[in-house]
Structure 1
Amino acid sequence: MPNGDNWQGDVLRDLRGASGPPAAGTGGSSSPVPPAQPAPPASPTPHTATQASGTERMTVPPTPPAPARTPTPTQIPTPPRPRRPSAPDSRAVVDSALSGTARRPQRGEPVAVRVTRAVRRIVSSSAAREVAELTRTAEALQQPVTTGRQIAVTSIRGGAGKTTVAALLGTAYAHYRQDPVLLVEADPALGSLPLRLGAETLRWTTADLADIVEPQMSLLDVTGYLVQLPENAWLLPGSQGQIGAMLDTSAYERVMVALRRYFGVTVVDCETLPAEVARVALSASQARVLAAPATLDGVTSTYAVLQWMQGLPRHMIDGTVVVLSSTVARPGIDVEAAAEKLRSTGAGVQVLPYDRHLAAGGALRTELLAQPTRLAAARLAAEVFQLSQKRR
């Protein structure tokens, strides 16, 4: 059989997928044979082999793939958790060059006024009445809560004392209550709440915390992202003082819903109306505070807003308190008459008297406040807290 026994070499070459020379000892031709080339990649098509006759070919089927295994519940991979934002650098609230320009803070009242008040308390029964009022106020402020109360503070325009009122409320709640108190700055562009509360540095902001807080976190975990304040209070700033910083309603809602279960009372320093975040904060809170200057234009614009609120659901104006802040020692209007006019709309009204310490605009120090200011702040905090308790 000429070349009849070469079929074995052909089969080997076909199985290798190569066209090299026949294997040694198979009786091939003695003519020179080129060197074998590297085997090409295996073809996905079935291999074929030549039979002894050279005309009939047999097919070698490929190895079938292993059947896919259904993963058990323990083998199902868990989706990767979203990465938390990297920790921002701390930033000073007040630039060191500017902090040196501040003068020593002064008391809210002159010495003569304080001495006169002390003498009156000695020779009259005003001291007993004052103690009785503070006792009733403290009892109202110390009522337990089943869920966190959120109180929104806003204004019609800038310079109305909005941030000052928010700082006074938060300080009062932290002083009288045992559960944690949170102050949130929802005015990232022009807010000054950290300065009012005496914070020195800022790091995490409201927008940062929206992507960090998780349900399984403890209070200790959460407060690690906040600014510690005196008397069991914490601050969540709106920004690090950057011009143009933004806070959208989605981030604000996520933060407020997530933090509500950790704090008994939360005071929110909102943007001025009609900003979108301010409207969301007012509608979602259990009580609202509208700061207004004790001036003719301030009272007029506030009265117009209260008339507009009368067309909203009744709980909106029933749960609102207007704070008339006197920015000068002698206001240009009859403050009590203006307060009565505003009360006619159904809203509550509290008057915050002129205080030299508050007028300076620096860090709030309660020991330097005038006695009438401390009493007014406590009355305001108690009224707002009681209103928040009425709405679950």
Structure 2
Amino acid sequence: MAQREDWQQDVLRQLGQYDGSDEAAGPAPEPTGPTARPRPTHSAPTPPEAARSTASPGSAQVSAPSSDPAVRTPRDPRLPLHAPESVPTVDPRLAHALGRPQHGDSVTRRTGRALRGLAASASRDVAEETRLAQELQQPVTTGRVIAVTSIRGGVGKSTVSALLGRTFNHYRHDPVLTLEADTALGTLPVRMGAASVRWTCADIARILTPAMQLTDVTGYLVPVADGGWLLPASQGRVGAPMDVRTYRTVTLALRRYFAVTVVDCETLPGDVARTAMDTAHARVVVAPMTAEGVNGTRQVLDWLAQLPHSALAGTVVALSANSPDTTLDEKTAAAHLRETGVSVVRLPYDRHLAQGGPIHTSVLGRATRDAAVRLAAEAMHRAVRVR
């Protein structure tokens, strides 16, 4: 037995996975998350049986840390000495201040819509809903990445990312990932309803290996209540921004496990945002419904037109109203943006979204839900068919 252990240590040393100090460092950190196998992925490769079994002569297996605390594996030097602690997304002393979720539509508006629905024919609405559902459920052969960004913070970028992630989770039957690529105290985990976060993009970038299966990867992700998975960029603390190398490593490795990855990028012109916009299959630019917001977004679209490939063909603009008292003419603003050839989807003001905190789909305004579905369908259409 001692001879076999020496042989395994030699193999692992050659692979760079073992430094001979596992007894001092203790067991490798364990992933968190549900133990049940998620829905099968669209194209997740099945490793050969030899990769699942015990190492045989001439081969070795590098996998995620075992979920069984009784199993001790050699420590991977890429991992931190201790697993990160779970950190609440909202300070418990402040969580009670969020109050009850407010409905996106007022009682008067909901009553009026119900009365109009009784008198109007629903055939047109059913046909449109069917068409959008078909767009959202398109089969894909490889994972599609949809990047979301804006010209500045506070315009609803993370909110749109959360809405897209939840919409894809609702309509698709294969795994969906919502990834945060903005470490500047991003709010995506809060909007997605995550109670706490643990592993971050930087942590995952150091431990991903081709031998990992979907169940290994999801052990490091945050399960979302409505389905799907979340990977935060940070634990809610001010720290070093994500670099382009980390972003490329994570997105290229994870896209083979997930049919759709929605990326909440940093604002332009950050390096990660520029890289994400250039490499994604589809792009969503969130524009505030203000004169300066539309003007700045038009400049971004003009920049996309100068990229080597046809980036504009795969871009959708979400024209977001962050106030109920918006005075900008919507048709004029949308026409100004459409001159570049992009599609524009208006995201109306919603009391529930304006309240902040976790997004509850059941209390979103009807117009907001419809706009989120249209936006997701437009982005998916471009991610599959344009590029």
Q: Same fold (TM over 0.5)?
A: yes
Q: Separation in 1 of the partners of 2:147 and 2:203?
A: 21
Measure how far apart 1:133 and its partner are.
Answer: 1.2
**Could you tell me how far 1:130 is from its partner in structure 2?**
1.8
The residue that corresponds to 2:90 in the other structure is 94
Q: 1:248 Cα deviation (Å)?
A: 1.0
Aligned to 2:206, the other structure's residue is in SS state coil
Residue 264, structure 1, aligned to residue 200, structure 2: no
Equivalent runs, 1:109-258 vs 2, <5 Å:
109-125=105-121, 127-258=122-253
Q: Deviations over 1:324-345 (max 9, x none)?
A: 1011123121112210110011
Residue 373 of structure 1: aligned partner? 368
| 1:199 to partner: Cα distance | 0.3
**In the TM superposition, what whole-angstrom CA distance separates every residue of 1:267-301 from its partner, at most 9, and x where no partner exists?**
00000000111111111110001001101111111
| Structure-1 separation of matches of 2:348 and 2:210 | 43
Q: Distance between the aligned counterparts of 1:260 and 1:310, measured in 2? A: 26
Structure 2 counterpart of 1:78: 14
Distance, in Å, in 2 between the alignment partners of 1:243 and 1:364 is 24
Letter in 2 for 1:345: T
Unaligned runs of at least 5 residues, structure 1:
1-74
Deviation at 1:391, TM superposition (A): 4.5
Q: Does the residue aligned with 1:290 lie in a helix, a strand or coil?
A: strand
Q: Which runs of 5+ in 2 are unaligned?
A: 1-9, 18-75
Partner of 2:283 in structure 1? 288
SS in 2 for 1:210: helix
CA contact (8 A) 2:278 2:307 kept: no
State how far apart, in whole Å, the 2-side matches of 1:275 and 1:246 are: 10
Q: Is the 8 A contact 1:291 1:325 kept in 2?
A: yes
| 1:341-365 CA distance string (max 9 Å, x none) | 1001111111001110111111111
Asked if structure 2 preserves the Cα contact closer than 8 Å seen for 1:296 and 1:332, the reply is: no
| Percent identical residues | 53
Distance of aligned partners of 1:264 and 1:79 in 2 relative to their CA distance in 1, 3 Å threshold: closer
The answer for the alignment partner of 1:320 in structure 2 is 315
> Whole-Å Cα distance in 1 between the matches of residues 16 and 361 of structure 2?
48
User: Is the Cα contact below 8 Å between 2:313 and 2:386 reproduced in 1?
Assistant: no
Mapped to 2, the partners of 1:283 and 1:160 lie a distance apart of 22
The CA distance in 2 between the partners of 1:298 and 1:306, in whole Å, is: 12
Structure-2 change in CA distance of 1:109 and 1:78 (3 Å): same
Q: Shift of the alpha carbon at 1:313?
A: 3.1
Q: Offset at 1:314?
A: 4.8
Indicate the residue corresponding to 1:27 in structure 2.
Answer: none
CA contact (8 A) 1:317 1:347 kept: yes
1-structure distance, mates of 2:295, 2:386: 29
Contact 1:186 1:268 in 2 (8 A): yes
Q: How far apart, in 1, do the equivalents of 2:262 and 2:341 lie?
A: 22
What is the number of equivalent residue pairs in this alignment? 319
Asked if 1:363 corresponds to 2:351, the answer is no
Return the alpha-carbon distance in structure 2 between the equivalents of residues 334 and 314 of structure 1.
32
Out of 372, 376, 384, the residue aligned to residue 389 of structure 1 is: 384
In the alignment, residue 273 of structure 1 is paired with which amino acid? L
TM-score of the two chains, using structure 2 as the length reference: 0.80
Say if 1:239 and 1:245, in contact at 8 Å, map to a contact too.
Answer: no
Provide the C-alpha distance between the structure 2 equivalents of 1:313 and 1:361, rounded to a whole number of angstroms.
38
User: Is the contact between residue 193 and residue 225 of structure 2 (CA under 8 Å) also seen in structure 1?
Assistant: no
Q: 1:245 to 1:117 in 2, by over 3 A?
A: same
Structure 1 CA distance, aligned partners of 2:123 and 2:108?
Answer: 22
Deviation at 1:100, TM superposition (A): 1.6
Question: Counterpart amino acid of 2:107?
Answer: V
- 1:210-234 CA distance string (max 9 Å, x none): 0111111110000000000134300
**Does the CA-based 8 Å contact 1:147-1:264 persist in structure 2?**
yes
Q: Which residue does 2:72 correspond to in 1?
A: none
Opposite residue 339 of structure 1, the aligned amino acid is: A
Q: How far apart in 2 are the matches of 1:240 and 1:307?
A: 35
Q: Deviations over 1:143-182 (max 9, x none)?
A: 1000000000000001111011100100000000000000
